Amino acid sequence: MGKVTGFKEFDRKTEDYRPVELRVKDYGEVFTSTHNAEHLQEQGARCMDCGVPFCQSENGCPVDNLIPEWNDLIYHDKWQEALIRLHKTNNFPEFTGRVCPAPCEGSCVLGLNNPAVTIKNIEQAIVDKGFEEGWIQPYQVAYRTGKKVAIVGSGPAGLAAADELNKLGHNAVVFERTNRIGGLLMYGIPNMKLDKDVVNRRVNLLKSSGVEFIANVDVGRDISTKQLQKDFDAIIFTTGSTQGRDLSVDNRDAHGVHLAMEYLTKSTQSLLDTGSADNSDLSAKGKDVIVIGGGDTGTDCIGTALRQGAKSIVNFELMGKPPIERSDTNPWPLWPLIYRVDYGHAEVAQVFGADPRQYHLMTKSFIKDKNGKVMGLNTINVDFKEGQLIEIEGSEKTWDTQLVLLSMGFVSPEHYLSDDADITLDERGNYQANYGEYTTSQKGIFTAGDCRRGQSLVVWAINEGRGVAAQVNQYLA
């Protein structure tokens, strides 16, 4: 694949983000607006003829992207053919090319002893060029079956299911409880990582292809599942894992302590409604901000707070600082648990002079002022010995803060919909359905995505959306 000796001749070089000093002044995407075709062809040339492409295996790409094939096509300057290959397995590469952490690169065979191929950069460039050249057009459905499917939730799983069912000739109707279509893609991921024009562009393509969208309707509250069962031949729940993990410590009720997704949602809503994310009632402007918990959501909180004009930003991590390279207990091709600097970390480091992350810290309590507002919090340093968390005596510290954002993951979907539908939950509180089958305890009701498997990646949501569509198609046959 690519150039036979390319992996020996060329070093890995990712496409640069926009300079920090420019991008922190706006909410535009951190990515550069143009792609260097010559550079990407050279990077595609690094793809080896590795025999077994682990990049598209179980540990690599959940949608089984034909990565070596489109790397080779890019090397040979065949961009439109590469786009066709890309769309064979991935409905929305413009989303994954921007927000996916790229488990494919973690499983790249070249990554055994060299930096992996820049798969994510190449994927984004292929689909961006496809839109620029007008190669991506609405899908023309040749035949309609007359079957109607209701899809509850318009995140990546719901959109993928709707796209696949529509192509099969079924009438897909997507219900969304908020005022804009996109779910997590619209309100859970900030604009600088995924511009909402990118989301709207794909939604408009789906509309033009025949998918129907109904916003501002909360199924289970505004309309019952029983009504949908009367009106549709099948129902799919793709509501995501939206119940955030909370922190049960003293004074948790202090005003100014919020779940991360509430903060990100209100900030993006403000940006889209008014043109400024600073108009949110949760704005970080002029405040000492503490983000508890890491991951992508924590980074997004950091990047948003910085743009809103936070006075200071600190990110608490319970665990220790990861190693620079893989440990012996984390071998290839597993996802490398190593130290990374994401866009928000780099921005805070340049603006405030230091990486915002503080490790081995556990929050013990919040401090309220006389009006009930958070004014600080207390922490203690911790360590882990033989799997046990140990508090280190004498390491207590008090931190000033007026805004605390809890970014500790998600525990399950909200349950008012499952209660309304009377479907069984699994031991974790997710909608119970076996992977590959997607059938709930109620006949004709299916489920997929984070509400079934638990909090996961956008690319896994697309995988499940495609999978549930195939199962529903069989059910309707």
Residue pointed to by tokens 């230091």:
354
| Residue 3 pLDDT grade (very low, low, confident, very high; cuts 50, 70, 90) | confident
Residues 127, 32, single domain; the answer is yes
Element of type H or E holding 203: helix 196-209
Residues 6+ apart with CB under 8 A from 65: 55, 56, 86, 89, 90, 104, 123
What pLDDT is stored for residue 386 in this prediction? 87
Residues 215, 358, single domain; the answer is no
Residues 81-96 have a mean pLDDT of 98
Alpha-carbon distance 64 to 67, whole Å? Answer: 8
Residues 102, 116, single domain; the answer is yes
User: What confidence tens digit (pLDDT) does each residue in 143-178 have?
Assistant: 999 999 999 999 999 999 999 999 999 999 999 999
User: What confidence tens digit (pLDDT) does each residue in 307-362 have?
Assistant: 999 999 999 999 999 999 999 999 999 999 999 999 999 999 999 999 999 999 99
Residues 367, 430, single domain; the answer is no
Residues 291, 333, single domain; the answer is yes
| CATH classification at residue 111 | 1.10.1060.10
With CA atoms as reference, report the closest residue to 352 among 289, 300, 398. 289
> Is the separation of the CB atoms in 223 and 217 below 8 Å?
yes
Alpha-carbon distance 424 to 431, whole Å? Answer: 6
Residue 439: which domain range?
148-241+411-476
At CA 71, angle to CA 67 and CA 73, rounded to 5? 120
Is residue 137 a part of any domain in this protein?
A: no
Alpha-carbon distance 229 to 444, whole Å? Answer: 8
Residues 431, 378, single domain; the answer is no
Residues 261, 328, single domain; the answer is yes
Alpha-carbon distance 331 to 299, whole Å? Answer: 26
DSSP category for residue 186: I
Burial 337-352 (b: 16+ CB within 10 A, else e): eeeeebbbbbbbeeee
Is there a cis peptide before residue 323, judged by omega within 30 degrees of 0? no
- Is 387's pLDDT higher than 90? no
User: What confidence tens digit (pLDDT) does each residue in 108-144 have?
Assistant: 999 999 999 999 999 999 999 999 999 999 999 999 9
